Structure 1
């Protein structure tokens, strides 16, 4: 289950992307999460995924 707080989600996702996964798609596939749910939640607090640096900014 993903954290409901967008800032906790941001921290968790960026840590996982930095340490364990080569892309957001890779993370979602291996952790069985919906990419749209993550991107929409983080967009509400003005963060978007940047595939070039593999993190939300």
Structure 2
């Protein structure tokens, strides 16, 4: 289950992208979560996914 707090979510997602998942799609598949909803939640606190860096910046 992904964290609900947006800042904790950001930290968790970026850590998983750095250490475990080769892409946001891979993370979403593994976590069984909707990519658009995840991106929207992090966009609310000013973060966008950067595929070249494979992290939210």
In the superposition, the TM-score normalised over structure 1's length comes to 0.94
The list of structure 1 runs, each at least 4 consecutive aligned residues, that deviate by more than 6 angstroms after superposition, is none
Q: Return the offset for 1:29.
A: 0.8
Question: In the TM superposition, what are the counterparts of 1:9-20 in structure 2 within 5 Å?
Answer: 9-20=9-20
Structure 2: runs of 5+ lacking an equivalent: none
Structure 1: runs of 5+ lacking an equivalent: none
Structure 1 distance, partners of 2:3, 2:26, is 19
Question: What is the RMSD computed on CA atoms of the aligned residues?
Answer: 0.7
